[in-house]
Amino acid sequence: MKIVIAAWHLQDFNVGLGRYCRELIEAIGRVDTENRYEILMPDGSYRFPERPNMRYRLIRFPFFKRRFWEQVAPVLAGRYDLLHFPYDAGIAWKRGKVVVTVHDVKPMIFGVGRSPINLNRLIERVLVLDKWARIDHVLTDSQCSKRDIIQHLGIPDNRTTVVYPGVELDRFRPAPSDELRPHPSPLPRGERERPYVFCVAGADPTKNVETLVEAFARLPLSLRDGHDLVLAGDFRRRADLREHIARAGLEKQAIFTGMVSDERLIELYRHARLFVFPSRYEGFGLPVLEAMACGCPVVSSNASSLPEVAGDAAILLDPMDVNGFTCEMERILTDPALHRNLRERGLAQAARFSWDRTAREMIAVYEKVVEKGCVS
């Protein structure tokens, strides 16, 4: 079986879709030596391991961008049994079965993250028309996302399959000498080192960082003053959040790291006393899993897919329950036994989500789609 994976987002190496593409392709290469793969890439900066059944093909064009690349690059691959876009995309000219991964439909639910009409989107609209009629099967990251896809896109149940992503367990893991102890924040040399509460978010308002800021501000004074609040992600467009932090009196304790490398992110997870994730909507919620894999206790919202990811290994709360987040943060920061228990449960939960398992389940879907056209 010839399988083509069109991995435009490999060029976005340090963001979610880029990491998803990279880890999926690497895992498929580890577990499948039978099928033939052609990996289409717009950027050759990342070097995959050489494998006899995998061809890595760099395809670049001097004009247009993603939407044009998505239409033309697969045509250059010739005939195939199956083409997989590991993100939401449409195609005008099919030369075999087509599957796409729709990670979530957040823009349809909340109206955030919608990009304005531009030339690339116009190309897709003109060429593809009804893209869902051309797609044979839709993959997604959680049962929550599957329900949303069925409801908002009208895709039938038998054309939608959940394949949970994995976490890089060989990299996202506790430090070798990690013990239960106060963890100083790994700040640049010369800055103070203090224990800290950690969150990974960004500009998207559904990340609901305001709830965390307010909950942190309500901690007992001795506890609040003894910890920093470290926020990783791109918050440059969130002047309102910085104002919120100032009003809460946390300017000296709130630390914005900006976007960080995986190595830096792992370090931040490992040394945090607690990871808090109050998001209102996630198609999967990978930061929760990454924090657990690094041995960091987790308090998360109970919204959307997060209970599927966290299981019973995190404390789950209504995303708008500020007092609840305050109380649970206080409990974990002051109770070593609870801290240790959540850490151990988190490590066990994260171990269930390996990329090799993801790859095997993905290949099973490929085979069923090629054989039957849908997955029952």
pLDDT at 281 over 50: yes
pLDDT tens-digit map of 162-206: 999 999 999 999 988 754 454 555 555 444 578 999 999 988 899
pLDDT at 108 over 70: yes
Residue 360 and residue 296 share a domain = no
pLDDT tens-digit map of 203-236: 889 999 999 999 999 999 999 999 999 999 989 8
pLDDT tier at 343, thresholds 50, 70, 90: very high
Instruction: Please give the average per-residue pLDDT across 302-326, as a whole number.
Output: 97
pLDDT at 2 over 60: yes
pLDDT at 325 over 70: yes
In a domain, 256, yes or no: yes
In a domain, 91, yes or no: yes
pTM of the model: 0.89
Residue 227 and residue 209 share a domain = yes
Instruction: Please give the average per-residue pLDDT across 8-18, as a whole number.
Output: 75
Residue 245 and residue 101 share a domain = no
Q: Among 27-31, 59-63, 117-121, 154-158, which is the least confidently predicted range?
A: 117-121
pLDDT at 283 over 60: yes
Q: What is the pLDDT of residue 180?
A: 45
Instruction: Please give the average per-residue pLDDT across 43-52, as a whole number.
Output: 90
Q: What is the pLDDT of residue 190?
A: 43
Residue 223 and residue 126 share a domain = no
Instruction: Please give the average per-residue pLDDT across 98-114, as a whole number.
Output: 84
Q: What is the pLDDT of residue 172?
A: 96
Residue 358 and residue 327 share a domain = no
Domain that includes residue 212, residue range:
196-350
Residue 6 and residue 87 share a domain = yes
Express as a percent the part of the chain with pLDDT over 70: 88
Instruction: Please give the average per-residue pLDDT across 304-329, as a whole number.
Output: 97
Q: What is the pLDDT of residue 133?
A: 86
In a domain, 182, yes or no: no
Q: Report the chain's mean pLDDT, rounded to a whole number.
A: 90
In a domain, 230, yes or no: yes
Residue 205 and residue 160 share a domain = no
Residue 266 and residue 336 share a domain = yes
Instruction: Please give the average per-residue pLDDT across 83-97, as a whole number.
Output: 92
Residue 342 and residue 304 share a domain = yes
- Which tops the pLDDT comparison, 13 or 103? 103
In a domain, 241, yes or no: yes
In a domain, 171, yes or no: no
In a domain, 267, yes or no: yes
pLDDT tens-digit map of 122-139: 666 666 677 888 899 999
Q: What is the pLDDT of residue 154?
A: 92
- Which tops the pLDDT comparison, 114 or 36? 36
For the chain, the three-class secondary structure string (H helix, E strand, C coil) is: CEEEEECHHHHCCCCHHHHHHHHHHHHHHHHCCCCEEEEEECCCCCCCCCCCCEEEEECCCCCCCHHHHHHHHHHHCCCCCEEEECCCCCCCCCCCEEEEECCCCHHHHHCCCCCCCCHHHHHHHHHHCCHHHHCCEEEECCHHHHHHHHHHHCCCHHHEEECCCCCCCCCCCCCCCCCCCCCCCCCCCCCCCCCEEEEECCCCHHHCHHHHHHHHHCCCHHHHHCCEEEEECCCCCCHHHHHHHHHCCCCCCEEEEECCCHHHHHHHHHHCCEEEECCCCCCCCHHHHHHHHCCCCEEEECCCCHHHHHCCCCEEECCCCHHHHHHHHHHHHHCHHHHHHHHHHHHHHHCCCCHHHHHHHHHHHHHHHHHHCCCC
Q: Specify the number of domains making up the chain.
A: 2
Residue 152 and residue 20 share a domain = yes
Residue 110 and residue 19 share a domain = yes
Q: Which CATH number do you get for residue 282?
A: 3.40.50.2000
